[in-house]
Structure 1
Amino acid sequence: MKFFKNNDNLTALEAQYEAQKIAFAPIIFQVARVMRDLKVLKTLKDFSKEGLTLEELANKTKLSVYSIQVLLETALSANIVKQKDELWFLTKIGYFIDNDEMTRLNLNYNHYVNYLGLYNLEESIKENKACGLKVFGEWETIYPALSTLPKEVKKSWFEFDHFYSDSGFEQAIEILNSLNIKKLLDIGGNTGKFATLLSNKNSDIEITIMDLPQQIKLAKQTIYEKNLTNISTFEANILNDDTNIPTGYDIIWMSQFLDCFKEEQIIKILTKIKKSLNNNSKICIMEPFWDRQNNETAAFCVINTSPYFTAMANGYSKMFKYQDFEKYLQKAGLEVEKIIDNIGICQTLILCK
């Protein structure tokens, strides 16, 4: 394993300090978010050369001196800000919290989608059920609920999902176009983002989006708004025993879809798909495998998405380690033809037959 090596080389005091960072992580998280949303970090950045006193920062942000002091002192302990004499400055960490797109989306996603529900993580771990989802309503899984979630929750969920998946679409489409395909089935096509982009790049390909009725409703709206004539839809729950995979496609495409299921379900889905293939068909699977990332930051982000699946999404799925996922492919009787890493920000593309 290339990530998270030598992670036990601390002294006892250093280890204890790291443990306290974890114990107080929820507080630091919310302080960082509030400082971002109330423009405290931006104000410090705007005066990055001269710095600001406590009183000056309170005045410019229209917050009380007490409020600014509470925020700054916690931020100081988390290296978000620094102090020189009576002046306060933004650090590099503070700059990323306020300006980095990935950090912004991760923070919004964890605040709006996960924060309240993760209180129920212990219950979810014990029951393999999305017990945290009850903060938004009574659903077994989050997927049928996506279109009706509160505005900020839905917005944050889709922005997070699209940021990590969409970054790989352009490169993936180049690979697909090199295969000279005529028909593609997009299983788990969600809002139709990938299908729309593929259609714009190659209007000769017949594309079918297969997903749950709630997602197909969103996809149909996208197709209608963009007046796309080469995209059709197929409503189905792929896990139902009486659901068969449509046949006659050159490519079965799945992007960040299989990580929504547990092992036996994944094998069941892949086995169904295998039965629908002809001799020249291929399966293309795009997933962010944490052990195939090109840096530890990416691996960290991918791994720490898994508790969302446990507490909020369904209670039983997670982000994959490729070494585990490869076993699912083998159990379904599929052969890996090619693996392409570093697609977009964090994706790996697997071509199977």
Structure 2
Amino acid sequence: MRKEFFKNNDNLNALDAQYEAQKIAFAPIIFQVARTMRDLKLLELLSKNKDGLTYLELANKSNLTKYAVQVLCETALSANIVSIKDEKVFLTKIGFFINSDRMTNANMNYNHHVNYLGLFNLEESIKNGKAEGLKVFGNWETIYPALSTLPEEVKNSWFEFDHLYSDSGFPKAIKILKNLKPKNILDIGGNTGKFATLFAKENPEINITIMDLPQQVKLAKQTIYENNITNVSTYEGNILLDETLVPKGFDIIWMSQFLDCFKEEQIVNILNKIRDSIDDNAEICIMEPFWDRQNNETASFCVINTSPYFTAMANGYSKMFKYTDFEKLLIESGLNVIETIDDIGLCQTIIRCKK
């Protein structure tokens, strides 16, 4: 169900609003201080010392100077990551989540390793409609062909982030697809083949084909080989090219976090191609995180703020969708929505469509 978020975001007095504005102005510094304290294990030390530590004790335990510890802790104090009482530093609830929460850590790693340097070029990307930030990693038009060759920390953080949000929805998605009783499924944008292999293991009687770029198919083939799966095959193709046809004869066309990688006119073209390739009984099943169909404002915040990555780093033109905007593209493509299922994993919605 569509929900309203961020409704009462202008009810602060002037002084509080100015303070919030300073938090934004200093956000890059606070982010790097928090990440540094996490990675240097300062937050971990504080979590294990419930009675607090002085700057000198924290310095000795971390093999850092008292100066280094104090600089970090004072900024952390201003950001409510730590509290200071009687000359001792304590970890707050916010600090706990930065240190221990899986989602927070995946978001932080992703933003530090994948986005941080490139987002310096966001303004240029906005003006040019190109992923200008991607040049920090090499000469690529989009990030997708580059994924397998990105620096290790960048690649690991990208996949950690991607898999956290998509993988959480896989168990429920597999049950939903299985209940539709398909004989064969085409997984467009199957990426590393993680979904396909999970589905294939649980449903050996159902064949699944991964369609993706050659670079991604190579990764998928490795996943298939490592899992010794026999009911998964691959099909190389760039679906954006006019000459690339969507193979026919499938009961379900499955796309998981795929269409958010394209601009609106490209999505319509892709859906038109798919619609023309299926028969009247086949279904198109789309899994996406729509920011206006989340359970809570925290989830909506995370989904919305993934969009600048697409602008600066991925391709320069795609974004995370509001469901009501995405629905218009389905209608434009001549598709009928027969069911919309929310609460798939952390943040996903599955849309079932037919001609």
Asked if TM exceeds 0.5, the reply is yes
The secondary structure found in structure 2 opposite 1:272 is helix
Partner of residue 33, structure 1: 35
Counterpart code for 2:338: E
Partner of residue 66, structure 2: 65
Counterpart code for 2:214: P
CA deviations on 1:201-220 (whole Å, 9 max, x unpaired) are: 10111110000000000000
CA distance in 2, matches of 1:334, 1:280: 13
Counterpart code for 1:37: D
Counterpart code for 1:40: L
Partner of residue 182, structure 1: 183
TM-score normalised by L of structure 1: 0.99
Deviation at 1:339, TM superposition (A): 0.2
The secondary structure found in structure 2 opposite 1:229 is coil
CA distance in 2, matches of 1:249, 1:267: 20
| Structure 1 segments of 4+ aligned residues over 6 angstroms from their partners | none
2:352 aligned with 1:351, yes or no?
Answer: yes
Partner of residue 159, structure 2: 158
CA distance in 1, matches of 2:124, 2:4: 32
1:207-222 pair list within 5 angstroms: 207-222=208-223
The secondary structure found in structure 1 opposite 2:230 is coil
Partner of residue 252, structure 1: 253
CA distance in 1, matches of 2:338, 2:123: 40
CA distance in 1, matches of 2:250, 2:229: 19
Counterpart code for 2:56: E
Counterpart code for 2:131: A
1:115-126 pair list within 5 angstroms: 115-126=116-127
CA distance in 2, matches of 1:224, 1:81: 47
CA distance in 1, matches of 2:247, 2:342: 29
CA distance in 1, matches of 2:158, 2:333: 31
1:1-353 pair list within 5 angstroms: 2-48=4-50, 50-353=51-354
- Which deviates more from structure 2 when the two are superposed, residues 68-77 or residues 222-231? 222-231
The secondary structure found in structure 1 opposite 2:32 is helix
Deviation at 1:85, TM superposition (A): 1.3
Counterpart code for 1:67: A
CA deviations on 1:304-338 (whole Å, 9 max, x unpaired) are: 00000000000000000000000000000000000
Deviation at 1:106, TM superposition (A): 0.1
Unaligned runs of 5+ in 1: none
CA deviations on 1:78-137 (whole Å, 9 max, x unpaired) are: 000001111110000000000000000000000000000000000000001000000000
Counterpart code for 1:151: E
Deviation at 1:2, TM superposition (A): 1.2
Unaligned runs of 5+ in 2: none
Deviation at 1:257, TM superposition (A): 0.1
The secondary structure found in structure 2 opposite 1:307 is helix
CA distance in 2, matches of 1:231, 1:293: 32
CA deviations on 1:21-73 (whole Å, 9 max, x unpaired) are: 0000000000000000000000001001x111110000001100000000000
CA distance in 1, matches of 2:163, 2:89: 36
The secondary structure found in structure 1 opposite 2:187 is strand
Deviation at 1:189, TM superposition (A): 0.1
Counterpart code for 1:229: T
